[in-house]
Amino acid sequence: MEIAILALGCFWSPEEKFSKLNGVINTEAGYCGGKTKQTSYEEVCSGSTNHAEVVKIEFDEKILTYENLLKKFFEMHDPTTLNKQGPDVGTQYRSEIFFFNDKQKKIAEEVKLIFNKKYNGKITTNISEQKNYSKAEEYHQKYIQKRNS
């Protein structure tokens, strides 16, 4: 099992979309990249922590490669808007790939380059080492599924 942490706007919709991909074992809404180990939704929304809303994805690399997961990531959101996805604005809604090791970093850079060519150099997605991940509050977990059931 592999783990990816991806920021692509509000975590509700991406968590739902990633959970439906063949090879994904589990998804979790969370926060990553900020100054503190633990944070809350209110603190993240204040913009003071520098955390991004993220989806933590556990997946089977034999079924879904990290490269293909990142291609889906770029297709699921607008990676050309800085700190904004749809009506959501703020650094917590930035586009960012958080890597765990050099292999993930290299693949992320390669996939970003492919999409940057496609988008004429307008990609704003950051690639950063994972730091200070914390799980979001329970009411954020599987939010779309809860609302539709």
Report the chain's C-alpha Rg in angstroms. Answer: 14
Q: Which one-letter DSSP state was computed for residue 142?
A: T
Q: Is the pLDDT of residue 147 over 90?
A: no
Tell me if 115 sits within 8 A of 19, measured CB to CB: no
Structure pTM? 0.96
Residue 124 pLDDT class (50, 70, 90 cuts) = very high
User: In what helix (H) or strand (E) does residue 116 lie, and over which residues does it extend?
Assistant: helix 102-118
User: Domains plus CATH for the chain?
Assistant: 2-148 (3.30.1060.10)
User: In what helix (H) or strand (E) does residue 15 lie, and over which residues does it extend?
Assistant: helix 12-19
Of the two residues 124 and 145, the one the predictor is more confident about is 124
Residue 10 designated active-site: yes
- Mean pLDDT in the chain? 95
Q: pLDDT tens, 81-107? A: 999 998 999 999 999 999 999 999 999
| Angle of CA points 135, 107, 25, to nearest 5° | 40
Tokens of 61: 């690399």
The Cα–Cα gap between 70 and 41 comes to: 25
Strand partners, 59: 2, 24
Q: pLDDT tens, 52-72? A: 999 999 999 999 999 999 999
Query: Strands of 2-8's sheet, edge to edge?
Result: 126-129, 95-99, 2-8, 52-59, 24-32, 134-135
- State the catalytic residue, choosing from 7, 10, 55, 70: 10
Q: Is the pLDDT of residue 144 over 90?
A: no
